[in-house]
Structure 1
Amino acid sequence: MQEKTSDPHPLSDLAYDWITLIQNKAQALNAYDQYIKDAEAAKSPECAAFFRKVHDADKAHLAEAKEHLVKVLQGQMGSGGR
């Protein structure tokens, strides 16, 4: 038997925000990989180095965001309600 709920949204706004941020950071990491290749093809090590720096910072932010999302989903962070 399926449980009925009055809330049509299975995620809190906070959980949704973290998921959206994680998606955006993941897409950015893919883009940075291409930017690095483009900079290397253009023989611009300074640009490639900058893109790597931004990539590494976003990668660290993504790892931290995943930790926050887990805590939000487990009810250890935020109010948990919509």
Structure 2
Amino acid sequence: MQEKPSDPHPLSDLAYDWITLMQNKAQALLAYDQYIKDAEAAGSPECAAFFRKVHDADKAQLAEAKEHLVMVLQGKMGAGGKK
């Protein structure tokens, strides 16, 4: 990825999208932690188990997204315009 010095947005749209997705997943993980605590406090192990399942899926997706972002930033995946 080559940047133009005068370009006010040095990230490609694709890189920006991955970063945004990762931020949203990271925020969701924090929310799920609270949901798990709330379900446990309410005496609902079934709900807590479901929230853990969703948490684990998002955590795995976040790890995969990180790999994709690295490849995009290294120019090994995607090409195109800047954001």
Q: If the length of structure 1 is used for normalisation, what is the TM-score?
A: 0.91
Equivalent pairs, count: 79
Deviation at 1:10, TM superposition (A): 1.0
Structure 2 regions of 5+ residues with no counterpart? none
Q: Partner of 2:49 in structure 1?
A: 49
* CA drift at 1:46: 0.4
Question: Any unmatched runs of 5+ in structure 1?
Answer: none
Name which structure has the greater RCO, CA cutoff 8 Å, separation 6+. 2
Q: Per the alignment, in what secondary structure is the counterpart of residue 43 of structure 2?
A: coil
Name the Cα RMSD after superposition: 1.2
2:73, 2:80 → 1: CA distance?
8
Match of 2:31 in 1: 31
Regions of 4+ moved over 4 Å: none
Q: CA deviation at 1:81?
A: 3.8
In the alignment, is residue 13 of structure 1 matched against residue 25 of structure 2? no
Counting aligned pairs with the same residue, the percent is 89
